[in-house]
Amino acid sequence: MNRTRHHAPLLVWLMASCFAIGLWQVWEGSWMYAKAGLAQLLLQRAWTRSLDGEARPKPWPWADTWPVARLQMPRLSVDLIVLAGAYGRTLAFGPGHVGSSALPGQDGTMMLLGHRDTHFQFLKEVRMNDRLELMGTDGTIRRYRVTEQRVMDSRRDSIATSREGEELILVTCFPFDAITTGGPLRYVVRAEAIDQAERSRGSSES
C-alpha cells in the first residue's frame, strides 16, 4: 500500500511531462506551418508590388532579399517566387537567384538554387523537354525547355555558363532522399529559351 502511494506522485509527474511535451510539439508544428503560410502571403504581396514598379520590395521590414522572378511549371503545379540571393536565410523561404548570373530579360545564364526537400523537391519529377515559365518583374514571361539533367560532384565539377542567348539552370542538393545534409553532390537541370518573350499581366499573376 505504501509503495503504491510512493510511486503515485512520480506517475503523475511523468504523465504531466508527456502531456506538456505533446502540447509543445503540436504548438511548434502548428507555428511552423503558420509561419510558412504567412511568409508565402508576404512574398506574394511583395511580388505584386514589384510588378507595380516598386524597386526591391521587401516582403517583411527586416528582410535583406526581394522578389526577382516567378518560376512556374504547369505540369507539376509549381509556382514559386524567386528571391534575390542564394544563401541560407533566403533559401528557407524560396529559391534564390545567384547574384553573378543573368536576370530575366538579360542575355546569358540565369542560375537558381533551392533546397531538395522543399522548393526544389519537384526537380526529381522533371523530365527532358518539360516546359518551364519564368516571369520577370516587368511582367514578361519567358518559356524554357529542359535540355539536360545530371548529377555533379561540387568538389571537382563545375557548371558551364554563358553570356550569350538565354538559358536557365536550377541546382539543388542530391540525392533527394538523403538523411544528412551538406553532401558534395548536386542535381542540375538546364533549360533553354524556346520562344520570344511574351508580356502577360493576366491569369499568370493569380
Is this model's pTM higher than 0.75 or not? yes
Write the CB contacts of 2 (distance below 8 Å, at least 6 apart in sequence).
none
pLDDT in tens, 157-194: 999 898 888 999 999 999 998 887 778 999 999 999 98
Domains in the chain with CATH codes: 60-200 (2.40.260.10)
Look over the chain and give the mean of its residue pLDDT values, rounded to a whole number: 83
Q: How far apart are CA 189 and CA 36, in angstroms?
A: 26
Write the CB contacts of 173 (distance below 8 Å, at least 6 apart in sequence).
115, 116, 181, 182, 183, 185, 186, 187
Instruction: Enter the C-alpha cell of residue 122.
Output: 519537384
Q: How far apart are CA 146 and CA 128, in angstroms?
A: 5
pLDDT value at position 105? Answer: 87
pLDDT in tens, 119-137: 999 999 999 999 999 999 9
